[in-house]
């Protein structure tokens, strides 16, 4: 254990987050998402966290800045047939983002099958135990300036 770090952040995940650069993304998904297969095909690590997607995002965002150079550094998988719907998992994740990273962040959306393609471009996939449908998100890493503040 280390002081000041969320205990969900193991060494491998911390290394992945540290090694990611500005504009790189990480995928945080529910337990029904084909996380291991997407990660295997993409040649990236798959980390498992025993939590729901907002809990995983809280841990990740405690050490990773969001990208202020893109319109929506937080993107969700759209619900099939109702793409504009924000389900419970989406609302909770956005509330977590606002609590941890600030109220200025907006959430974008990606059609379900396009989400799989975008997930395969991520630096890693984080699989959670969240059983709610469409609880799948992509977070884009931002920049920490010389003063230690998020740019």
Active site residues: 22, 67, 116
Residue 137: partners with Cβ closer than 8 Å, 6 or more residues away = 27, 28, 29, 53, 57, 74, 75, 76, 77, 93
Give the 3-state secondary structure of residue 29: strand
- Dihedral of CA 48/53/58/61: which sign? positive
């Amino acid at each position: 254990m280390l002081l000041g770090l969320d205990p969900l952040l193991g060494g491998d995940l911390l290394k992945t987050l540290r090694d990611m650069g500005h504009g790189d993304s990480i995928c945080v998904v529910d337990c029904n998402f084909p996380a291991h297969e997407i990660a295997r095909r993409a040649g990236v690590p798959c980390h498992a966290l025993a939590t729901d997607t907002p809990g995983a995002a809280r841990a990740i965002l405690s050490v990773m800045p969001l990208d202020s150079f893109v319109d929506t550094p937080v993107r969700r998988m759209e619900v099939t047939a109702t793409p504009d719907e924000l389900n419970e998992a989406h609302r909770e994740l956005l509330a977590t983002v606002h609590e941890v990273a600030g109220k200025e962040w907006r959430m974008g959306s990606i059609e379900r099958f396009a989400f799989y393609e975008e997930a395969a471009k991520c630096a890693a996939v984080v699989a959670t135990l969240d059983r709610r449908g469409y609880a799948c998100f992509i977070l884009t890493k931002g920049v920490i300036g010389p003063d230690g503040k998020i740019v």
